[in-house]
Structure 1
Amino acid sequence: MLESTEITKPELLAMTVIGSAYMLNGMVFRVCAGSAAAVKVAAVKALNRMRIKVVSITKDAGQDVILAVSNEHMVEVRVKTLNPQSVRMCISAHQDDDQNDVQTAAEIIACTERLLAHPESSYAITR
C-alpha cells in the first residue's frame, strides 16, 4: 500500500519554477546541456549574483562540489559529468534551522540556466 505524501505550497511553487528538474529528499536535481566547466562557472556566477558567497570549490568522487554560505543559507552544488555535453546538477540548500530550502535551490538552478543561455547578460536574476 502506498502512503500519500503531502506537498506543501512552497514545495509546489519550487516544483513549478524548476520545471523538468526533480526533487528528492529536499535536494533538487537538474540535467543541463553544456560542459561541466561551463555549468560550474555559471553556478558560481549565479551564487554570486544571489549574494551567496562561494567558500570552496573541490572535487569529490569525480564531481565538482561548490560550497557557499549566506546569512541565512548553506548551499552545496554538485556538478557531475554525464557525457561531454551534459551534466547533472544536484543542489542542497539549508536554512539556519537546518531545514531544506527547495525554493533557494530552484532559484539557483533557474539563474544558472539563464546564465548558460546568456553568459554575458545582466538579467540573470529576475528580482
Structure 2
Amino acid sequence: MTSGHSPSARAEDREPVNRRRAARVLIGVLLLVASLAGIKPGLAAWARWMALRQLRVGAISEAQRWLDRAEWFGSHLFETELMRAVCFRNLGQMERWQECVKRAREAGGPSARTQHEWTLGLVR
C-alpha cells in the first residue's frame, strides 16, 4: 500500500525543510561569531588579570603565557606589552624589555605609564 505520493512529491516536500534547517544553522553560526567577537575583549582583560596575579607571586613564565593569550584575543595591545615589559625587566632581559616598551609606546597608551616603566628599567 502506498501513500499516494510519488517519490518526486516527497522530495519537494522535504526541500523547504532542508532550506529552513540550513537557514537555522547559518543564523546559529552568525550568532556564535557575533557573540565571540563581543567576548574577546573581556577574555583579553581576564588573561591580563591572570598575568598580573602570576607576576605578583613571581611566576613570570606563567604570566608570560597569560600575556600570550591576551595578545591572541587582540585587545589593548598597550596594556599587554607594558606587562610583558615588566616580565622581561624582572628577568633581567633588558633588550627584550626595551622592545616591549617601544611597542607599548607605539600602541599609543598613556605616556606617563610608559615613562614610569622606562625609568624603572633604567634604574635596574
What TM-score does the superposition give when structure 1 sets the normalisation length?
0.23
Q: Which one has a larger percent strand, Structure 1 or Structure 2?
A: 1
**Structure index of larger Rg:** 2
